[in-house]
Chain A
Amino acid sequence: AQSVSQHNHHVILSEAASLELGCNYSYGGTVNLFWYVQYPGQHLQLLLKYFSGDPLVKGIKGFEAEFIKSKFSFNLRKPSVQWSDTAEYFCAVNAIGSSNTGKLIFGQGTTLQVKP
């Protein structure tokens, strides 16, 4: 079965530090890839997504992610974090053509804490 792994469970950064959150998935076929963010007390919001085309995708609030097919990875980056980026970040994969087509498979989530 397909799975998604987020390597960092809890990340603590100071404001202005650079951020990279890892996400790897296990599926050799076509994928739709997503990063969602859940701010404290709020619902999941879409940060960015990749379906096809340029593997470097830009999302809201200065976030970007790069799809590296050979590494089965979709890491999230931001050059300079702000205190307001404190949240839970989820990587999710839709494994097209698999028995799980149409279902989002979520990683375990990464808690980001940004210190002012």
Chain B
Amino acid sequence: GAVVSQHPSRVICKSGTSVKIECRSLDFQATTMFWYRQFPKQSLMLMATSNEGSKATYEQGVEKDKFLINHASLTLSTLTVTSAHPEDSSFYICSASVTASTDTQYFGPGTRLTVL
């Protein structure tokens, strides 16, 4: 149980285009979903927290207009990287928690974004 999927697993795009990444909780309803960024050989950095039906809360330094997050249902959250640039190339990981945000987070497999 508690499976989280992400799509796509890898994406390559040209600079200036937008990319949408989906995060789904497959066998549970997620009250809260989280988006992280992981740099090579480094830990996960929280980008934003989203609750179904409300606006996402972004961490300091994360541009909300660049990283658009939509949590339209209890099983789906999307991250759209707008006007992507090479420096946005990274590994993006989502997680979901069943009840409160303080609950256990279950992680998706991640999406490797490469911006040319």
Contact = CB atoms under 8 A, between A and B. Distances in A.
A36 interface: yes
A104 interface: yes
Contacts of B110: 43
For A36, A45, A90, the residue with the greatest tally of chain B CB atoms inside 10 Å of its CB is A36
B49 A103 contact: yes
Q: Which of the four size classes fits the interface of chain B?
A: 20 to 34
Q: Say whether chain B's binding surface is mostly helix, strand, loop, or mixed.
A: strand
Interface string B59-72: 00000000000000
Interface of B: 4, 32, 34, 42-46, 49, 93, 95, 100-102, 104-110
B108 A43 contact: yes
Q: Say whether chain A's binding surface is mostly helix, strand, loop, or mixed.
A: strand
8 contacts: A49-B104, A90-B43, A101-B101, A101-B102, A103-B49, A103-B101, A104-B46, A109-B43
